Structure 1
Amino acid sequence: MNQWENSNRNLRAVEERIGYTFRNPSLLERALTRLACTLETGLPPEMHMDALATLGDAVINVAVVEAVVAEGVHDKGAITNRKMNLVNMSRLRALAEEIGLAEHVRWGKGEAAQRVWTSGRVLAECLEALIGAVYLDGGMEPAAEVLRRLGLIKRA
């Protein structure tokens, strides 16, 4: 079975794991598609996750700072330190691993052969893309709620 089969089932599995159902499932599909895959399969250039990962990075930072301030931290340095401790490649990668995100991403053939998700920042970027997709689909509060469910930020 190739990575394109059972696509709807894979999308539903991700939605169940993050506790969010997409109104526009194509955003989730895009968040799970690597640039290498789009190049290899001839998908339109806008169908890969890179822009969503950049957006998701910003959304995660806003959600974390908002949560830290809501906890009563008001010193700029303390906010920055808490954000740096909560949002880093290792932490985002671990969260992606906890929900089994790698098994749902559409990797390029070379990426799959090299198992690129096992090292570096790749899996963290996949989680960022997922959060970016949630943000575009539902807004800031659903994105923050997914981050709460994943344990990155505390409940308000």
Structure 2
Amino acid sequence: MATKRLTADELAEALRERTGHSFRDPQRLQRALTHASARSAHAGVDYERFEFLGDRVLGLVVADMLLAAFPEALEGELSLRLNALVNAETLSRIAEEIGLPELVRAGSDVRNLAERKRTNLRADALESLIAVLYLDGGLEAAQSFIHRYWQPRSQAMGVARRDPKTELQEWAHQAAGAVPDYLVEAREGPDHDPLFTVRVKVGVFEPAVGSGRSKREAEQAAAAALLVREGIWTSEGATP
């Protein structure tokens, strides 16, 4: 986080080239990039409200971008791509890329946060910045910034892959008008290294079984086994 406190005008100038936007209201930008830890008791109000708005603007612009870029993609693939582009890890990397953390005002205690919380903080700051771009310059300003940093990432992702449970959920609805029913058949091994065995059944189709070191992993394995057996996937994770 910031080691030197910039004035509102200095902050706006520092972000002008990085965002491609000349800010008309530097004070608002400064409020958006001042973390609760650096302010009074009501400190989080502005920061959190900007973050809330920025999250929605980002989701809208990225969804629109993906619809245009992948006209043949189904809703499930678009959702996977969207989730990968708007998660905290992606936002944190982009925040680092534009040097945003060094511009955020935050209390000294933030430096001692665990890495996961620091990732979330960087992501939140980027969402706050997007909100200010939207409020200051309209959707066009926010869209220009988002396309600049997210579009190359969307193209570099390659083919988005569905997880087996998602694939099975959709297939089950179409093929049997049912939802997959997962049942834990066994849990073996010590608490620190368990092995779960899960059975999944879809309508009148024969059940399939999978194992994994977590319940979710075993459910994924069972779903993949059923998809392969029924010819929906030629091998685990691949479609015919």
TM-score range, shorter chain: 0.7 to 0.9
CA distance 1:47–1:128, change in 2 (3 Å): same
CA distance 1:110–1:11, change in 2 (3 Å): same
Contact 2:11 2:26 in 1 (8 A): no
Look up the equivalent residue of 1:77 and give its one-letter code.
G
The Cα RMSD (Å) is 2.5
Structure 2 residue aligned with 1:60, among 22, 41, 58? 58
Kindly tell me the number of residue pairs found equivalent between the two proteins: 149
Given the two structures, how large is their TM-score scaled by the length of structure 2?
0.56
Q: Which runs of 5+ in 1 are unaligned?
A: none
Task: Provide Cα deviations, 1:69-117, integer angstroms capped at 9, x if missing partner.
Answer: 1122552212211101211111100000011111111112322x42677
Partners in 1 of 2:113 and 2:14 — Cα distance?
21
**How far 1:7 moved relative to its partner?**
4.3
CA distance 1:15–1:39, change in 2 (3 Å): same
Look up the equivalent residue of 2:91 and give its one-letter code.
L
Higher relative contact order (CA 8 A, sep 6+): 1
CA distance 1:144–1:73, change in 2 (3 Å): farther
CA distance 1:66–1:5, change in 2 (3 Å): closer
Partners in 1 of 2:145 and 2:46 — Cα distance?
21
Q: Is 1:39 aligned with 2:19?
A: no
Partners in 1 of 2:12 and 2:115 — Cα distance?
19
SS for the counterpart of 2:18 is: helix
In proportion to residue count, which structure has more strand? Answer: 2
Look up the equivalent residue of 1:148 and give its one-letter code.
H
**Alignment-derived partner of residue 100 in structure 2:** 101
**Alignment-derived partner of residue 123 in structure 2:** 124
Contact 2:8 2:29 in 1 (8 A): no
In proportion to residue count, which structure has more helix? Answer: 1
**How far 1:139 moved relative to its partner?**
1.5
**Alignment-derived partner of residue 27 in structure 1:** 28
**Alignment-derived partner of residue 15 in structure 1:** 16
Q: Percent identity?
A: 32
SS for the counterpart of 1:80 is: helix
SS for the counterpart of 1:100 is: coil
Q: Is 1:144 aligned with 2:143?
A: yes
**How far 1:12 moved relative to its partner?**
0.7
